[in-house]
Each structure stands twice: as structure tokens, then as C-alpha cells.
Amino acid sequence: MAAKVSIGVDIGGTNTEFGIVDGDGKVIERAMITTPKKDNINQFIDDLSTGIKRLVSKYSDFDYQGIGVGAPDGNFYKGTIEHASNLPFQGVIPFVSLLKERFPEMKKIALTNDANAAALGEMLYGGAKGMKNFIMITIGTGLGSGFVVNGELMYGSDGFAGELGHVTVTSEGRECGCGQFGHLETYCSATGMVRTAFELLSHHNATESLLANKSFNQTTSKDIFDAAKKGDEIALTVFEITGDILGQALADAVHISSPEAIFLFGGPVASGELLFKPVRESMESHLMPMFRGKVKVLPSRLRQGEAAILGASALVYK
Ligand SMILES: [Zn+2]
């Protein structure tokens, strides 16, 4: 009997990756196209479809279960990408319908937002195997989150539930990409960490800091990690502040959904205990007594480069 596989597609601001994933979560082969800079959705769908068809024809012996798509501002209920701030496509794109026109033979085509897809990946192939209640946090340019409650992803009435990145952690705080102020992701994303570093550099006039010689646009969260490992005071303080704010927000999330575990995914997670220690301490200190000492905060078990494709492919089975 032919092996059952699915196709995962991850639409990012710069690149769109896709691949064939087997039932054990192994990426058999993957490919990539550039996400267009201009709003030309039909050309993009054509290019993506051609790429997928090329892979499928190379592995024509498999039993294809469907295509799962992870995209920023993806709506699971409607199969649409809606007003995505990091993609060039304007308005509401009926992405699933457009793909179905190109793949009428596929049993299932589904779409969700990228953080929800990562949560599904963690549940099927990662550290959340067997868990019915957990939260996935993806830390990158922004902060995404997927809430799994009673074994199901929480979508809410309109399909957009679980936007922890846009809870307010400080009123009149930093400006967020969504247009509001003081949201979690303006502090606890990779870019938020850089913003914190530059505030500290300026405030302390820290000309001797290892972070003082690069421009704002050139600095990454990896630079902050590297500087912290060398004992740089500013970099160490960035981790303390980031962990403190994230831990507080996670405590709020625990109060709402009572997860077994919270998984952190993304570049800054490689910083290990520098990030996890202040996160755990802050979360515990903000928790109500009945939740204390129960909720694990863990690094994602999905591999950095594969998580998005894996998660999207898992959508076919949900
Ligand atoms: Zn926001």
C-alpha cells in the first residue's frame, strides 16, 4: 500500500516553503519560491502550484492526503488570508479556493495562521504529543501563539482567537505593527528585544557595551545572545526584562486556558536558560496559587527550519 503523506506550505514575508511530509513527521523533500513583493496573487498561486506539482510528480507513488497551508493572518474557517500586514496581498484572499482550482484531486486543502500551524506540528510531531492542553508561542519578528484546549486548537467565533502577542502589557507603551500601543510582541519578540537593547544603551549611555557599535537595523536577537554570553550587562538586562514581561503574559494565559505546558519556538529560544529562567520565575510569581509549580515552560521540539512546513502539513489530519 502506498505510504500516506501530506504537503505543508509555509507562506512567509520573504519566502514560501513547501514540502512533502510523511506520517512520522519526516520532511521527505522541500522546495522554496520567493513570496512576491507586489500584490499579484494569481501569479503567486500559479508559481506555488507548479512547484508543488513538480514535487508530487517526482514522488508519484505516495498516497497524498491533502495540502495544509500556514500563513500570517490565515483564517481556518474561511480558508482566507485577511489583511496580512507582512504580505503584499491586499484585502481578503480566498487562498484555499484558489488552490482547490489547481488541485481538484486533493482530498483536503486547509489553511490556518502560522502560529496555529506550529501548535499542530508540536502536537503531532513534537513535544506536545499526547497533550490535550498546551500553548505554543512563536517568537520571531512578532510573537504568535496557538492555544490547544481540550485537544482542539482554539479558533473562536471568527477564526482568529489566541493572539497573545497583542495583549497589552503596558498602557501607553511601544507602538505595535497592528497600530495599537504596549502590546506584548513589541517587547517579547526578536525585534522587541532589539528595541529594549537600544532603549537601555541610550538610557545608560552604555558606549562600552558590545551592542553599542552596530546600528539599530543591523542588530539581531542573536547579537544580544552573543553579547550576553560574554557577560555584557546591557544584553543580560535585555534577557531579564524580556523574560519578566513574557512570564507575566504567560501567567495571564495560564489563568485563562490552564495548559499542561507552554512551548517556546523561534530564534531567541536558542538562548536557553538566559531566556527560560527569567520567564519561569516571572510566570510563577504572577500565577494564582492553584496554578503554581504545575505548568512547564519548554523549548519546542520541532526543528527550526522544518517546523512551519511540518505544522502546516499536520493541518490535513485535523
Ligand atoms: Zn499589536
Domain at 169, CATH number:
3.30.420.40
Q: 20: CA distance to ligand 1 center in Å?
A: 34
Count of structural domains, the chain: 2
Look-up of cell digits 511530509: 21
CA 103 / ligand 1 centre spacing (Å): 35
pLDDT for 307 equals 86
Using the mean position of ligand 1's atoms as its centre, give its distance from the Cα of residue 71 in Å: 17
Distances (CA, A) of 11 to 152, 180, 220, 283: 23, 25, 22, 32
What nine digits make up the cell of 99? 488552490
- Name the residue with cell 473562536: 156
DSSP bridge partners of 138: 144, 265
66-106: per-residue pLDDT in tens?
999 999 889 999 999 998 877 889 899 999 999 999 999 99
For residue 203, give its domain range.
Answer: 131-299
31/162 same-domain check: no
For 251-265, write each residue's pLDDT tens digit. Answer: 999 999 999 999 999
Q: Are residues 226 and 92 in the same domain?
A: no
For ligand 1, the distance from its centroid to the CA atom of residue 180, given in whole angstroms, is 5
- What percent of the chain has pLDDT above 70? 100
Residue 41 sits in the same domain as residue 135 = no
* Cα–ligand 1 centroid distance for 182 (angstroms): 8
Its pTM stands at 0.92
Q: Residue 197 has what pLDDT?
A: 98
Strands (E), the chain: 4-11, 15-22, 27-34, 63-71, 74-75, 80-82, 92-93, 109-113, 134-139, 143-149, 152-153, 261-266, 296-299
Give me ligand 1 centre to Cα 18, in Å.
28
Q: Do 96 and 223 belong together in one domain?
A: no
164 CA → ligand 1 middle, Å: 9
How many angstroms separate the alpha carbon of residue 167 from the centre of ligand 1? 7
pLDDT in tens, 174-197: 999 889 999 999 999 999 999 999
| pLDDT value, residue 304 | 80
Centre of ligand 1 to C-alpha 163, Å, is 9
- Whether 227 and 257 share a structural domain: yes
In the reported structure, the alpha carbon of residue 11 is separated from the centroid of ligand 1 by a whole-number distance in angstroms of 20
